Amino acid sequence: MAAGKRAEGSVLGGGGGGGESQESEAPGPLLPLSRLDIRRYSRQLVLPELGVSGQLRLSGSSVLVVGCGGLGCPVAQYLAAAGVGRLGLVDPDVVELDNLHRQVLHRESRLGTPKARSAASALGELNSRVRCVPYELALSPSNALQLVRDHDVVADCSDNVPTRYLVNDACVLAGKPLVSASALRLEGQLAVYNHRGGPCYRCLFPKPPPPETVTNCADGGVLGVVPGILGTLQALEVIKIASGMGATCHGSMLLFDALEGRFRHIKLRPRDPRCAVCGDHPTVTALQDYEEFCGSSATDKCRALHLLSGEERVSVEEYKRVLDSRAPHVLVDVRPPVEVDICRLPHALHVSLSKLEGGDEGSLKSLRQRIHEARQGAGDSAVLPLYVVCKLGNDSQKAVRILQGLSQNGLGPISVKDIRGGLMAWASKIDEEFPQY
């Protein structure tokens, strides 16, 4: 049922807390709370900081949740539970098995279902009084501004750099506060942008990082509870803004270290008057091509780098033919040890990329020994093929460059190529029994 519509007899609400007045931010007239509303929200209604007026603002507010994944699930869940009037749920992906350890709104029974629809279904069972609108699409320069304008607060729960810039710029152009969070491995951070004269995301990060330095959850992993903690805190900031209590994190960034169990705040720089989008003389006055701006795709899927030429790479099918022919060669697995523990090709030599980058002498000694053994069957003067593999074919490209530089360092005549798509391509195209992770 849409916010503001009441089926039961109404109970007039008045007075109460709710912090400083922000009636101008709530769309439409605020109708009284019903008897069932009072029963449902009773534990928060008695808080002086919220009260009836704050609850009425919540029920009259709308929030756009960008991403229904590890962050978006707890954000949407707590906003629906708190009684936010309308939730817009944006996500282009479907529910997959490896989502379920952290994306707690989804279920095994909804594998293959669009995430936005799955989330809306779960939220409808939690609170049928909240209107949940699923948008089964990717946020883009063509649709972002209108979607942002249609909501009072935006929660950025995405997991890629282009979408972060897109959401930020849309919020600045539409004049909407942005609550942004991120989580990776065992760490997370939270900030509120474009609120009460504070900075926007571009003020702090005017230029995107190089694509090869960016790691997301698909690449680097994440402990499921970490986005849960950050998403819950994100929901808290949204509720405080929508109810009139005011955000805590609009002048600082909250950092969370799960391993140490520690939170800390760092003060943010003030709004930059030279900012390209929110500055005194903005140069970004319309949404742009953010994938081109960032040099990466707007996806939380595993990214694909392109560091080598086609002649320096082989497909998994080509490598399978080399393996079947029993031609002398060396396969080097450059994944971290924790990934090798999950699965490996038994004939591969494990030398992690970090060891190669650090010039670890023990690892190089093992590599020289393996090359020497393989060269016995190839002939001492023959050029020995080295193939490099990792999970996805990204780190392996970096390793090829390093090994090419070492080719004159006691390794003898070698040719070095990486295997495109890595072990996950091997699993999908060559060996269906090989684990995917």
pLDDT in tens, 341-380: 999 999 999 999 999 999 999 999 999 999 989 988 766 6
For residue 108, CA distances in Å to 67, 92, 100, 127 come to 19, 19, 8, 21
CB 284 within 8 A of CB 300: no
How many domains does the chain fold into?
2
161 in a structural domain: yes
Q: Is residue 207 part of a domain?
A: yes
Describe the chain by its helix, strand, coil percentages, rounded to 5. 40, 15, 45
Separation CA 263–CA 94 (nearest Å): 33
Same domain? For 345 and 285 the reply is no
> Which residue range forms the structural domain that includes residue 213?
61-294
281 within domain boundaries: yes
100 has binding-site annotation: yes
Q: 115: annotated binding-site residue?
A: yes
Smallest Cα–Cα separation from 313: which of 387, 236, 219, 390? Answer: 387
Q: Which of 68, 73, 171, 217 is catalytic?
A: 217
Q: Are residues 244 and 107 in the same domain?
A: yes
Q: Does residue 68 have a known ligand-binding role?
A: no
Q: How confident is the model at residue 7 (pLDDT cuts 50, 70, 90)?
A: very low
pLDDT at 146: 98
CATH code of the domain covering residue 349: 3.40.250.10
Radius of gyration of the chain (CA): 26
Give, in order, the Cα–Cα distances in Å from 94 to each of 36, 141, 429: 34, 22, 22
> Are residues 367 and 284 both part of a single domain?
no
54 falls within a domain: no
Question: Do 247 and 208 fall within a single domain?
Answer: yes
Q: CA triplet 232, 261, 189: central angle to 5 degrees?
A: 50
For the segment 82-86, the average pLDDT, to the nearest whole number, is 98
Looking at the structure, do residues 323 and 280 belong to the same domain, yes or no?
no
pLDDT at position 265, please?
Answer: 96
CA distances in angstroms from 214 to 138, 265, 297, listed in the order given: 20, 23, 12
**146: Cβ contacts below 8 Å, ≥ 6 apart:** none
The residue annotated as part of the active site, out of 68, 73, 132, 390, is 390
Residue 289 sits in the same domain as residue 406: no
Confidence band, pLDDT 50/70/90 cuts, at residue 408: low
Verify that 282 and 325 share a domain, yes or no.
no
338 and 424 housed in the same domain: yes
pLDDT recorded at residue 381: 66
Residue 5 has pLDDT above 60, yes or no: no
d(CA 306, CA 297): 13
Do 338 and 405 fall into the same domain?
Answer: yes
Per the annotation, does 98 bind a ligand? yes
pLDDT at 302 over 90: no
Phi, psi of 225 (to 5 degrees): -75, -20
Q: What is the pLDDT of residues 86-141, one digit of tens each?
A: 999 999 999 999 999 999 999 999 999 999 999 999 999 999 999 999 999 999 99
Is 159 annotated in a binding site? The answer is: yes
Residues 207 and 205: their CA atoms lie apart, in Å, by: 5
Q: How confident is the model at residue 250 (pLDDT cuts 50, 70, 90)?
A: confident
pLDDT band at 413 (very low <50, low <70, confident <90, very high): confident
- Average the pLDDT over 198-216 and give the result: 91
Q: Is 35 inside a domain boundary?
A: no
Examine the domain organization and report whether 343 and 286 are in the same domain: no
Q: Is residue 40 part of a domain?
A: no
Q: Give the pLDDT band of residue 185 (cuts 50, 70, 90).
A: very high
The helix-helix angle for 316-325 and 422-429 (nearest 10°) equals 80
Of the residues 294, 321, 341, which one is the last residue of a structural domain? 294
Is 394 among the annotated ligand-binding positions? no
**132 catalytic per annotation:** no
pLDDT digits (tens, 9 = 90+) for 9-35: 333 343 333 333 333 333 445 568 999
Last residue of a domain, one of 265, 294, 323: 294
Residue 3 lies in a domain: no
Say whether 249 is catalytic: no
Q: Are 96 and 50 in contact (CB under 8 A)?
A: no
Q: Are residues 257 and 350 in the same domain?
A: no
* Three-state secondary structure of 298-316: CCCCCCCCCCCCHHHEECH
pLDDT confidence of residue 409: 63
* 110 annotated ligand-binding residue: no
> Is 91 annotated as ligand-binding?
yes
Q: Is residue 27 part of a domain?
A: no
**Confidence at residue 297, expressed as pLDDT on a 0 to 100 scale:** 83
Of the three residues 266, 294, 322, the one that is the final residue of a domain is 294
Q: Is 203 annotated as a binding residue?
A: yes
Q: How far is CA 247 from CA 58, 240, 340, 398, in A?
A: 14, 6, 44, 43
Q: 290 and 391: one domain?
A: no
Mean residue pLDDT across the chain = 90
